[in-house]
Amino acid sequence: MANPFDLVGMLALVTGGGTGLGLGIARAIVGAGGKVVLTGRREETLQSACEEMGPDSAYAVHDIDRLETIPGLVREVEDRFGPIAILVNNAGNHLKRSAVETDDASFAKVLSTHVQGGFALARETAKRMVPRGTGSILFVGSMAAIMGIPQVVAYSAAKTAVAGMARALASELSPHGIRVNTIVPGWIESEMTRKAFEGDPERARKILSRTPAGRLGTSEDIGQAVVYLSSPAARFVTGVDLRVDGGAGIGF
């Protein structure tokens, strides 16, 4: 019996793929036999990631905030590398600011990146997946869409919208063989997390105390969840919000 978790022969487009979660996701896809095309704004970072992963990876410099360029990006990727079987909408931005100090322009920019950019890329990819009758579209969500977290009102609004958008897309696209799901990471090890914890030990204690697993996650944890949801093993899984959070969403 073939390994149902194999991604052999599948091409994935991973936005924001040069560092952090995106890079962890890309590594896992390549490790499962797939190929990846990374996007992001910094060519040097993308190039370095591809050198690490080897010949099954490539990149295209792209800014997801430039919505008018997204149809051309999808066309370029498919022309150069073949049909996109997996889309991972990972690119995003963040804004840590109190609600009363969050101005309209900053709020709109966060929504534009996560919601409009993610939707436009899913739409353009789906246009090509529908005739093929197969595909997997993944969005990276957030605990901020599940629980109230202070000083991230724009980010919380954006990720909540993404979760609803993914469910609507799943309902519409699944009859065409395209599955749409959302990965919801918990608190993940990163340079940013380490710096935040060093500056606010009480925040670190609070997060770990409500995480039953007793540790932070890793980008590999997220990557393996992406592999599962993208693989034939999840062929009957669509419209879900998969928490990969060590139990933080249910911790007391």
Is the distance from CB of 48 to CB of 18 less than 8 angstroms? yes
Quote the distance between the C-alpha of residue 144 and its chain's center.
14
β-sheet bridge partners, residue 185: 244
198-229 as b/e: b if 16+ CB within 10 A:
eeeeeebeebbebbeeeebbebebbbbbbbbb
Whether 228 is catalytic is no
Is the distance from CB of 127 to CB of 71 less than 8 angstroms? no
Cα–Cα dist 208/47, whole Å? 35
Strand boundaries in the chain, DSSP class E: 11-15, 35-40, 57-61, 86-89, 135-140, 178-185, 241-244
Cα–Cα dist 82/129, whole Å? 12
β-sheet bridge partners, residue 139: 89, 182
Instruction: Please identify which of the residues 155, 166, 224, 225 carries the catalytic annotation.
Output: 155
Provide the annotated active-site residues: 155
